[in-house]
Structure 1
Amino acid sequence: MGEHKRNIAVRFFGGAGNYTDVLEDMCGYVLTEGPSEEALFEWIKANTRATSDDGIGNRLRFLGAIGLLEIDADRVRLTERGIQWLSETDPEILFDALTENVSGFETILESLLEGPKTDAELGAAIAADHSEFDWSDSAGPAQHRGWVQSLGYVERTDGTNALTDSGRRLARRVASGLPALERGDYYTQSELEAAFDTSFGSYIKGINPRTDDDGDLAYVIVKAREDGPYGDDLAGDEFTYIGEGVPAKGDQQLTPANAALVDHAEGAVAPVYFFYQPADEDRLRYDGLVDVVDAEYVADPDGERMVYRFTVAHLEVEDPAEFEALADSVSDDSSSDAGEDDEPDLTADEEEFTVTQRRVRSSAFAKRVKAAYDKRCAICGTSRESPAGTVDIEAAHVYPKRENGRDHVRNGLALCRLHHWAFDAGWLAVTDDYRVLVADRPDLEGYEEFVRLEGEELTVPADEEKRPHATFLAAHREMHGFESP
């Protein structure tokens, strides 16, 4: 499958938007009756508007080509995949059958992520994505669209196609290239290598970071073994996980694997898949996506060496596409579109998100802000690093999080720990042209240290869309009693 994909899908019975209704009835008949090919032709004629044997045969051969039917003259059977789809009626099962055997379905979803499109525009997107074949059949886009519409991924209004909520979730996952695994299911190494399109070598190590084509962290696979050497405490929604490096090798080092989890603790935005391997199993149980909450470089319980100890929390987010959408929303929310003369909302609608979703967004906020400032303090320019490899740079909300301030890059500043505290406490504020203001409190200890910063210019990102917005800066000044300059 997939090596010689078809260029064009074949319509089914019932009209676009209703293919799966007729398909479900037909598959039920095939499963219960095991009909001959001739009997199935007669059933189709009796239950649809189809009259042409050639048309019926073409449609049945298409179902055979995508792996739903086995067709012999004396008997038609459902394949294992056909039985699975009939029993679960999960649209993704049928979508996978289509994408594995017909080009262009992924392109349609990814194209619609950009916005609604006509059939002709979808056809142009497929032609651009698949230059290896001549997309010349004008009916082709409609036949593709008819299937994704029937699966509930696309809705059509006045000749224009748009993604539904489920279609958008699937489109994001397709675009990410990441699989959606079933929590609690067991997977062999070969199954995981196929799902992630990667190789783990002779066995799956404890921490497996993977990068994208640009060298950025794409995802991390973390494994814990019941009989492992680290004594991980995995109980509860939040647990500890010891980094890479067995006791025989002494102190653990900041290897690329450990660094990936340290980065995640500092706010790296990439899905972390967590697996558990029981002592009596070769397979790994998928325990869902997790968030690395904290990273510490500490003495192990025996006090004989230093280890990386990570605090890890289970996430309720099941789909990596949803995880990435939540992370992207930090930089894509409405305030990013505000022009210089527009005032973004100071606060976010917290009721819109669950606790887990807010955690993902907060982590993404920290990552986006620190990356925008190259992990250096906007006020003093420092970037200190601890022995554990963690950087003493924090992502500060300009209009504070405690007041429901937005998780948005333009409501953020990268600051060292000292200046983060001073900014939040009201010692420091920032003018609209990014110069430091200092509270006029010479009677308090600390004034002499901070007053030296008065009028100093902040180091802000070159990209104006990542610099603090004047609305957030003004609100912070007002909150702490600074007069507008």
Structure 2
Amino acid sequence: MVKLVLMHKAGSIYDDLPDQVYDFPRQYLKAMKEAVGDWIVYYEPVKAGPRGYFATAQIDRVIPKPDQDGRFLALIRPGSFLPFDREVPRLLDGSPLESALTALDGTPLTGGLDQSAVRRIPEPDFARIVDLGLPQQLEEIEARRYDPRSFDMAEGAQAFERPVVERLLRRSYRDIAFRRKVRDAYDYRCAISGLRLRNGGGRPEVQAAHIRPVEHGGSDSVRNGLALSGTLHWMFDRGLISVAEDCSILVSRNKVPADVVDRLLLPGGKLIPPRDPTDAPHPENLRWHRENIFGQTAPGDVAW
């Protein structure tokens, strides 16, 4: 197996969905087959934007692209995609983070490999990029964010450094990474009520909801998330509310009293979009929720 860097830009003309599939030509087939079962990092090309390295995922398998000779699809292992908490720049102190792109004097090499949409990356380079994008101590960073005393008892203790892949697979770590990205995408505002509430210590009350649950094949992509208040998160998970294709809020009217709807929903009944349009909920995730969750709660299961 081998780790790879995959070049991707939002709005690509190819059938790329970073948390699901990567579309590539035959010239990269050998490298992609070698990477099956291993991890990759996504990289935004210079002409597409400023992000640099922005996510990681695991290749599950490679198949020919239906009805298109010479092209193939790398399928992403369900539940493996994870956006970086902080995007990693292409250069650090003037030097590339990939050794294969670095000249002997530490300056960037130009042409050739750095233009390749798929390129192999050594384990140390992969670990360094992931550590920069998803810090080892992310859980502690989040806990200290609103309560500096959270880890006072552990002061002076040596932090246990988990292997990179172990960290990427740990559900508690992934939940925190997902929550941080989704809440930030919506500026800590509930996407349905429009409220931005904080407790006395400044901690945001808004939560991060998976549109398609992880246990049902959903990913930790921001496009599979919504920032919701606790009550609306509960209602969304139980199918009492959902989101239409045009981002109108759908309500199971036979289960939710009208006065509750009036108190919780914004006038106009539309979902508030994230600050960056590329983080908007993917239509397929919303469709899945409408078809599999919305309206499924039995009337007797809800009490007001």
TM-score under structure 1 length normalisation? 0.34
Partner of 2:203: 390
**Per-residue displacement from partner, 1:178-234 (whole Å, max 9, x unpaired)?**
8x9xxxxxxxxxxxxxxxxxxxxxxxxxxxxxxxxxxxxx97989xxxxxxxxxxxx
Distance 2:292 2:148 in 1: 33
**Per-residue displacement from partner, 1:101-124 (whole Å, max 9, x unpaired)?**
xxx99936x035xxxx5xxx5329
Structure of higher CA gyration radius:
1
Task: Decide which of 117, 126, 144 is 1:168's aligned counterpart.
Answer: 126
Distance 1:262 1:359 in 2: 19
The within-5 A match list for 1:123-202 is: 123=103, 126-128=106-108, 162-170=120-128, 172-173=130-131
Greater helix content: 1
CA contact (8 A) 1:259 1:389 kept: no
SS in 2 for 1:127: coil
Q: Sort the Cα spacing of 1:263 and 1:457 in 2 relative to 1 into closer, same or farther, 3 A.
A: farther
Partner of 1:465: 278
**Per-residue displacement from partner, 1:14-58 (whole Å, max 9, x unpaired)?**
xxxxxxxxxxxxxxxxxxxxxxxxxxxxxxxxxxxxxxxxxxxxx
Partner of 1:286: 158
Q: Which amino acid counterpart does residue 474 of structure 1 have in structure 2?
A: R
- 1:405 is displaced (CA, Å) by 2.1
Distance 1:219 1:450 in 2: 37
- 1:367 is displaced (CA, Å) by 0.5
**Structure 1, unaligned stretches of length 5 or more?**
1-103, 130-159, 181-217, 223-256, 266-271, 277-283, 290-316, 327-352
**RMSD, matched Cα:** 4.3
The within-5 A match list for 1:101-116 is: 107=95, 110-112=97-99
The within-5 A match list for 1:71-470 is: 107=95, 110-112=97-99, 117=100, 122-123=102-103, 126-128=106-108, 162-170=120-128, 172-173=130-131, 260-262=145-147, 275=154, 284-288=156-160, 317-318=162-163, 326=168, 353=169, 357-441=170-254, 444=255, 446-450=257-261, 453=265, 456-470=269-283
Identity among equivalent pairs (%) = 26
Q: Which amino acid counterpart does residue 449 of structure 1 have in structure 2?
A: V
Q: Sort the Cα spacing of 1:473 and 1:106 in 2 relative to 1 into closer, same or farther, 3 A.
A: same
**Structure 2, unaligned stretches of length 5 or more?**
1-91, 110-117, 296-304
Q: Sort the Cα spacing of 1:123 and 1:373 in 2 relative to 1 into closer, same or farther, 3 A.
A: same
Distance 2:244 2:149 in 1: 32
**Per-residue displacement from partner, 1:155-197 (whole Å, max 9, x unpaired)?**
xxxxx98422344214545x57x8x9xxxxxxxxxxxxxxxxx
Q: Which amino acid counterpart does residue 450 of structure 1 have in structure 2?
A: V
4+ residue runs over 6 A deviation = 218-222
CA contact (8 A) 2:94 2:107 kept: no
Partner of 2:27: none
Asked which structure has the greater RCO (Cα within 8 Å, sep 6+), the reply is 2
Distance 1:476 1:415 in 2: 15
CA contact (8 A) 1:435 1:456 kept: yes
CA contact (8 A) 1:410 1:467 kept: yes
Distance 2:128 2:251 in 1: 50
CA contact (8 A) 2:139 2:176 kept: no
Partner of 1:40: none
Partner of 2:301: none
- 1:480 is displaced (CA, Å) by 3.2
Q: Which amino acid counterpart does residue 260 of structure 1 have in structure 2?
A: R
Distance 1:260 1:367 in 2: 11
Q: Sort the Cα spacing of 1:168 and 1:477 in 2 relative to 1 into closer, same or farther, 3 A.
A: same
- 1:396 is displaced (CA, Å) by 0.7
SS in 1 for 2:196: coil
CA contact (8 A) 1:379 1:458 kept: yes
Q: How many residues align?
A: 194
Distance 1:364 1:449 in 2: 32
Distance 2:213 2:149 in 1: 23
Q: Which amino acid counterpart does residue 391 of structure 1 have in structure 2?
A: P
Distance 1:161 1:470 in 2: 31
- 1:362 is displaced (CA, Å) by 1.1
